[in-house]
Structure 1
Amino acid sequence: MAITGGDVERGKEALRHYGCGGCHVIPGVPGATGQVGPSLEGIALRTYLAGRLQNAPENMVRWVQHPQSIEPGNAMPELGVKDGDARDIAAYLYTLR
């Protein structure tokens, strides 16, 4: 179990399920070659998420679930990501160094 309380492999699948690769390049996720949002390569090493949240597990989970409540009007949509899926997604994202 990762620091987020999630599962890395389930996170990889959840990224595909929610279509995150349509907007982001996500290393290790087949077909994740989007150019709308930033590449997620190295996201685990970034100091901030979305340019404003300290890069910490709970903040990563919050951002994945509620990007519009954190940064209204940004390009990342609210996708209805469930709690467990958000933890799994964050677990996978923290492997991207």
Structure 2
Amino acid sequence: MGSIPHARFEEGLGPAEARSCMNALALATALTAALLATLTGLLGLLAGILLATLISLLATLTTLLATLAGLLRLLARLLVRVLSIGVIHLELLLRFLGAR
């Protein structure tokens, strides 16, 4: 332990110190790889959940649009019937009034 902090490294490392440094480096690498794998897995899970939610929302929207289209079709058919009945009544009324 000299007055210069890096003086020890200039002398070189012994076998035990070199092994300790290599073990620390291996541990840091393994922990970093595990952390990256965990983060990748979590991001994949989140992306899967979001994709499933999006597909579910699209299916719901499609169902609602189909229901709305069916209701509009039913309303149009009802309107055609009401109008045709109204035209028939108007025609009969005009005939009745024309006969007088």
Larger Rg: 2
Normalising by the residue count of structure 1, what TM-score does the alignment of the two structures yield?
A: 0.17
In proportion to residue count, which structure has more strand? 1
| Higher RCO (CA < 8 A, seq sep 6+) | 1
Structure with higher helix content: 2
- TM-score, normalised to structure 2, is 0.17
